Amino acid sequence: MSDDTTRPAGAADGTDGVDPVLSLSNVDSGYGEVQVLDDLSIRLDPGEIVCLVGPNGAGKSTVLKTAFGMLTPWTGTVEYHGRDIGGMAPEEIVREGIGYVPQTDNVFGSLTIDENLRMGGVARDGGLEDVIETLYDRFPIIDRKRTAKAKTLSGGQRQVLAFARALVMEPDVLLIDEPSAGLAPNTADDVFEDVQEVNDMDTAILMVEQNVTKGLGISDRGYVLDQGTVRFEGTPEELLNDEEVSQLYLGG
Ligand SMILES: Nc1ncnc2c1ncn2[C@@H]1O[C@H](COP(=O)(O)OP(=O)(O)OP(=O)(O)O)[C@@H](O)[C@H]1O
Ligand SMILES: [Mg+2]
């Protein structure tokens, strides 16, 4: 089903030869008997932000869930630094160095900001205090509210806490599902800046985003998914300027 892509997978921007931090190759996956991903291949190179876009139900969240071990690939491979992690449990994958920020329920509302960060670090062997202080330095908005319950945070602040919570494990890959969902435009802009801030901390990011222009706007590359497979891939400019992508998936 990859005949419709603009170019072969992996030839997007001259990064061939770099070893990806994360790659899904020819993956089929789904829920129970229901297949969602169909021969899907994507890669994330060191330091990149890669954005997955596509219509509702295309399988974007399913890609993240498969990469994070919440679903086991039926066929194909999920590799992290060249090692097959397909079928590993999420709690093992977290220790390997991949973090995941789901779209909803990504913080514990009844716990304080500080408690949320500590929860994020239960699998750490040590150094918890130091990493938490570093994250407070990076994200002053949560530093000022250490003892407040997470449910008192605004939507944007909550998203920052969700990022920080995932970063307590110091992942080098972060999977983020629709960081701007449900946020007002100004707040969404702040969250996209925070995504870039996370990326600046040497974290490669695979992000799903409905806000195609802004999502691709901060990304190095993007993939357009439809019906569980990659239809187009390229740089943000290539995707946003492609007539067919624009007509079919970006509302003209
Ligand atoms: N837990 C589940 N059990 C069964 N089917 C599911 C489950 N979660 C998702 N699906 C189905 O898998 C398909 C892909 O869903 P997925 O959530 O990956 O899409 P998406 O691209 O993230 O969509 P959206 O933009 O709406 O978030 C959809 O048809 C959806 O109904
Ligand atoms: Mg989704």
pLDDT tens, 122-154? 888 899 999 999 999 999 999 999 999 999 999
In which band, very low, low, confident or very high, does the pLDDT at 13 lie, cut at 50, 70 and 90? very low
Give the SS3 label for residue 169.
Answer: coil
Listed residue (87, 56, 84) closest to 71, CA to CA = 87
Give dist(CA 177, CA 60) in Å, integer: 8
Give the SS3 label for residue 59.
Answer: coil
Res. 121: pLDDT tops 90 = yes
Listed residue (212, 209, 208) closest to 252, CA to CA = 212
| Residue 93 CB-half CA count within 13 A | 27
Domain assignments of the chain as residue spans, ordered by start? 2-6+15-107+172-249
In which band, very low, low, confident or very high, does the pLDDT at 105 lie, cut at 50, 70 and 90? confident
pLDDT given for residue 252 in this prediction: 58
Dihedral in degrees, nearest 10, Cα atoms 65, 67, 73, 76: 150
pLDDT given for residue 16 in this prediction: 61
Show the tokens assigned to 130: 């130091």
In which band, very low, low, confident or very high, does the pLDDT at 250 lie, cut at 50, 70 and 90? confident
* Homologous superfamily, domain 2-6+15-107+172-249: P-loop containing nucleotide triphosphate hydrolases (3.40.50.300)
Closest-approaching ligand to the CA atom of 53 = 1
Closest-approaching ligand to the CA atom of 52 = 1
Show the tokens assigned to 177: 């599902």
* Spatial CB neighbours of 117, under 8 Å, sequence gap ≥ 6: 132, 135, 161, 164, 165, 168
Ligand 1: does its nearest atom lie under 6 Å from the Cβ of 167?
no
Q: Average pLDDT in the 75-99 region?
A: 96
Give the SS3 label for residue 157.
Answer: helix
Show the tokens assigned to 44: 């994330």
Show the tokens assigned to 211: 């806000």
Ligand 1: does its nearest atom lie under 6 Å from the Cβ of 62?
yes
Ligand 1: does its nearest atom lie under 6 Å from the Cβ of 59?
yes
Contact assessment for residue 45 and residue 15, using Cβ atoms and an 8 Å cutoff:
yes
Q: What are phi and psi of 2, to 5 degrees?
A: -90, 10
Amino acid at 88: M
The pLDDT tens digits for 198-243 are 999 899 999 999 999 999 999 999 999 999 999 999 999 999 999 9
The pLDDT tens digits for 161-208 are 999 999 999 999 999 999 999 999 999 999 999 999 999 989 999 999
Q: Which residue is closest in CA terms to ligand 1's atom 12?
A: 36
Amino acid at 26: N
